């Protein structure tokens, strides 16, 4: 035990070169290996959001689409290939104005629509060049045509997305590429919809994992150097 001449209470024993070397080498090795264990530890301390997806049946129904079951996600991710599918979207105002007419748009203000429009039914925005300028109009189109044109095959999508479509549902900690997309399967068309998102409570806020890992490895390398130095000093003292 370390002497305590001033009577201030017990003090821990002073570590010799051998123990300091062992402790520094152990801690340094652990920190250098942080890329292998930091992720699971961070996940335990700060749980990530979880996302639940369902591949729900979707098919033409008169002039619209019938979606089987959960449609909550459509209000956040929409329907890929269809503009203004959620009719409360403020960006749809131009479409309402064009529903029964066409309009000439000045070139400097023109932005060509990127998909179909759904109002009381589906429309296909058509752009023509006239002597007056760019003319934009909405042409009615069937829901079956829209569904056939916006759908895609599950081949070529990321594996996690393909598994969710094949299984019919999936729960992940990352948002899937393909949410809001329509896929053509052997059983018909399905829509990959985000139906729920859970945000954990009471999680400990942590800095970015990449930063934590980088600092841990840097400190670990420094501790390894200190450990080897103390080890060499201990070996030298024994030789003396």
The domain ranges of the chain are 17-46+202-239, 50-198
Which of 145, 140, 139, 136 lies closest to 81, judged by CA? 145
Q: What is the mean pLDDT of residues 133-156?
A: 86
Q: What's the rounded Cα separation, in Å, for the pair 158 and 192? A: 13
Task: Quickly list H helices, the chain.
Answer: 17-32, 34-45, 74-77, 93-98, 143-150, 159-167, 209-239
pLDDT digits (tens, 9 = 90+) for 210-230: 777 888 888 888 888 888 888
Could you tell me if 165 and 54 are in contact, meaning their C-beta atoms sit under 8 angstroms apart?
A: no
pTM of the model as a whole: 0.60
- Judged by average pLDDT, the poorest of 1-5, 45-49, 70-74 is 1-5
Residue labelled with tokens 């821990």: 12
CA gap 13, 163 in Å, rounded: 58
Pairwise CA distance, residues 54 & 177, whole Å:
13
Q: How confident is the model at residue 3 (pLDDT cuts 50, 70, 90)?
A: low
Neighbours of 185 (CB within 10 A): 15
pLDDT tens readout for residues 5-47: 555 554 555 566 677 778 888 888 888 888 877 777 766 666 6
- The pLDDT, as a whole number, for residue 186 is 87
Give the pLDDT score at 89: 54
- Taking a C-beta distance cutoff of 8 angstroms, is the pair 81, 116 a contact? yes
In the β-sheet with 133-140, what is the strand arrangement from edge to edge?
Answer: 82-83, 116-118, 122-130, 133-140, 102-105
- Which among 142, 118, 115, 141 has a CA at the least distance from the CA of 60? 142
Helices (runs of H) and strands (runs of E) counted in the chain: 7, 11
Predicted pLDDT of residue 76: 67
33 torsion bin: left (phi>0), alpha (psi -120 to 50), beta (else)? alpha
123 neighbors 117 (Cβ within 8 angstroms): yes
Better pLDDT: 44 or 80: 80
Q: Residues for the chain: how many in total?
A: 240
* DSSP helix/strand/coil, 229: helix
């Amino acid at each position: 035990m370390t002497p305590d001449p001033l009577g201030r209470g017990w003090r821990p024993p002073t570590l010799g070169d051998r123990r300091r070397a062992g402790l520094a080498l152990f801690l340094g090795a652990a920190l250098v290996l942080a890329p292998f264990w930091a992720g699971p530890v961070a996940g335990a301390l700060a749980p990530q959001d979880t996302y639940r997806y369902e591949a729900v049946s979707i098919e033409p129904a008169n002039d619209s689409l019938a979606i089987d079951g959960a449609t909550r996600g459509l209000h956040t991710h929409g329907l890929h290939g269809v503009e203004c599918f959620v009719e409360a979207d403020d960006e749809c105002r131009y479409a309402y104005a064009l529903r029964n007419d066409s309009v000439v748009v000045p070139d400097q203000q023109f932005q060509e629509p990127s998909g179909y429009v759904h109002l009381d039914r589906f429309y296909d925005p058509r752009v023509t060049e006239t002597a007056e300028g760019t003319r934009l109009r909405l042409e009615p189109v069937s829901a079956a045509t829209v569904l056939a044109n916006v759908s895609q095959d599950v081949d070529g999508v990321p594996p996690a997305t393909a598994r969710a479509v094949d299984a019919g549902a999936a729960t992940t900690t990352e948002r899937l590429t393909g949410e809001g997309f329509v896929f053509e399967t052997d059983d018909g068309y399905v829509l990959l919809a985000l139906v729920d998102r859970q945000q954990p409570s009471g999680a400990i806020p942590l800095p970015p994992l990449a930063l934590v890992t980088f600092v841990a490895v840097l400190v670990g390398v420094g501790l390894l150097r200190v450990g080897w130095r103390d080890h060499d000093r201990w070996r030298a003292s024994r030789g003396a």
